[in-house]
């Protein structure tokens, strides 16, 4: 099955930029989606199709995808961005929704 | 406003059964595949099962095949997950999510319901 690897944690100061990577073989050929999870809340899709934002998601959230790494970038980080973030791809050869291992973003 | 509200989570004994429900509103339920996704304590997200708009196709992760059954009642805008022969490793928060089949992602989720399997 397809494996997606994320760093366990990323720390960033308010106002700075957080970059969360998602590594997978030739992931640049796939659409990558990113979710934000906060305790007690519904998970939120923040980027889909590698670079697009759903309605209502701030422009501070952006995505890129090339080669073997996809990246979620959070610019001008705010305290409210503190959460776990998961990447996800569709895999027709195994379980349809494959998630990364997740990254905890801490705002210092 | 799209809403998905799960219910039915509980503390259950190993080997027991539980039925989760998810009531949706704010969109045309019959136009979307639907999924269940879970997160075990300290672990990541794991897709569990999904079902086609009319219920004619269902898919499961290997670890629940033969034990869990996904179903839907389109007249009640409801999604279900029947969980039998529960194991310790089924302990998790279970989320109901709407499939965006075109983009191959899950575009709306509920807050989840806690299932705890104990001996």
pLDDT (tens digit, 9 = 90+) per residue, B2-31? 999 999 999 999 999 999 999 999 999 999
Residues of A in contact with B39 (CB under 8 A): 37
pLDDT given for residue A40 in this prediction: 92
Contact (CB<8Å) A42/B44: no
pLDDT given for residue B119 in this prediction: 80
pLDDT given for residue B85 in this prediction: 98
Question: Å from A37 to nearest chain B CA?
Answer: 10
Q: Is residue B101 predicted with pLDDT exceeding 90?
A: no
* Percent of chain B whose pLDDT exceeds 70: 100
The shortest CB-CB distance from B50 to any of A35, A88, A96 is to: A96
Question: Å from B14 to nearest chain A CA?
Answer: 26
Q: Which of A15, A14, A59, A61 is nearest to A36 (CA)?
A: A61
Rounded mean pLDDT of chain A?
A: 96
Contact (CB<8Å) A45/B50: no
Contact (CB<8Å) A90/B106: no
Question: Å from B38 to nearest chain A CA?
Answer: 11
Residues of B in contact with A86 (CB under 8 A): 44-45
Four-CA torsion A89, A94, A97, A100, nearest 10 degrees: -60
What CA–CA distance (Å, rounded) separates B89 from B37? 14
Closest residue on chain A to B100 (Cα): A48
3-state secondary structure of A81: helix
pLDDT one-digit tens code per residue, B44-92: 999 999 999 999 999 999 999 999 999 999 999 999 999 999 999 999 9
What CA–CA distance (Å, rounded) separates B115 from B93? 6
What CA–CA distance (Å, rounded) separates B25 from B7? 15
The shortest CB-CB distance from B107 to any of A54, A98, A100 is to: A54
The shortest CB-CB distance from B107 to any of A37, A40, A45 is to: A45
Evaluate whether A47 touches B106 at the Cβ level (below 8 Å).
Answer: no
pLDDT one-digit tens code per residue, A32-82: 999 999 999 999 999 999 999 999 999 999 999 999 999 999 999 999 999
Say which residues have a Cβ less than 8 Å from residue A101's Cβ, sequence separation at least 6.
Answer: A4, A5, A6, A8, B44
Contact (CB<8Å) A31/B100: no
Closest residue on chain A to B60 (Cα): A95
Question: What DSSP line would sit under A28-80, residue for residue?
Answer: GGS--EEEEE-TTS--EEEEBTTTB--TT--TTEEEEEETTEEEEEE-S--GG
3-state secondary structure of A6: coil
What CA–CA distance (Å, rounded) separates B67 from B50? 15
Three-state helix/strand/coil letters over chain B: CCEEEEECCCEEECCCCEEEEEEEECCCHHHCCEEEEEECCCCCEEEEEEECCCCCCEEECHHHCCCEEEEEEHHHCEEEEEECCCCHHHCEEEEEEEEECCCCEEEEECCCEEEEEEC
* Percent of chain B whose pLDDT exceeds 90: 97
Say which residues have a Cβ less than 8 Å from residue A72's Cβ, sequence separation at least 6.
Answer: A19, A20, A22, A34, A46, A47, A61, A62, A63, A85, A87
In the stretch 81-110 of chain B, residues with CB closer than 8 A to chain A read 95, 97, 100, 103-110
């Amino acid at each position: 099955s397809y494996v997606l690897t994320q760093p366990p944690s990323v720390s960033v100061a308010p106002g700075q930029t957080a970059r969360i990577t998602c590594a997978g073989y030739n992931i640049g050929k796939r659409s990558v989606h990113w979710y934000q999870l906060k305790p007690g809340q519904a998970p939120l899709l923040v980027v889909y199709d590698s670079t697009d934002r759903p309605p209502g998601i701030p422009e501070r959230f952006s995505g890129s995808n090339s080669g073997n790494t996809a990246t979620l970038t959070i610019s001008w980080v705010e305290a409210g961005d503190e959460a776990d973030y998961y990447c996800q791809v569709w895999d027709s050869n195994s379980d349809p929704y494959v998630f990364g291992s997740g990254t905890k973003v801490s705002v210092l | 406003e799209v809403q998905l509200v799960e219910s039915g989570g509980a503390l259950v004994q190993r080997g027991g059964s539980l039925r989760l429900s998810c009531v949706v509103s704010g969109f045309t339920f019959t136009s979307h595949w639907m999924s269940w996704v879970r997160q075990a304590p300290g672990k990541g997200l794991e897709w569990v099962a999904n079902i086609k708009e009319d219920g004619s196709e269902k898919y499961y992760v290997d670890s629940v095949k033969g034990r869990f059954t996904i179903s839907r009642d389109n007249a009640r805008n409801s999604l279900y997950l029947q969980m039998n022969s529960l194991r310790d490793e089924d302990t998790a928060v279970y989320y109901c999510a709407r499939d965006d089949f075109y983009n191959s992602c899950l575009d709306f989720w509920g807050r989840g319901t806690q299932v705890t399997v104990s001996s």
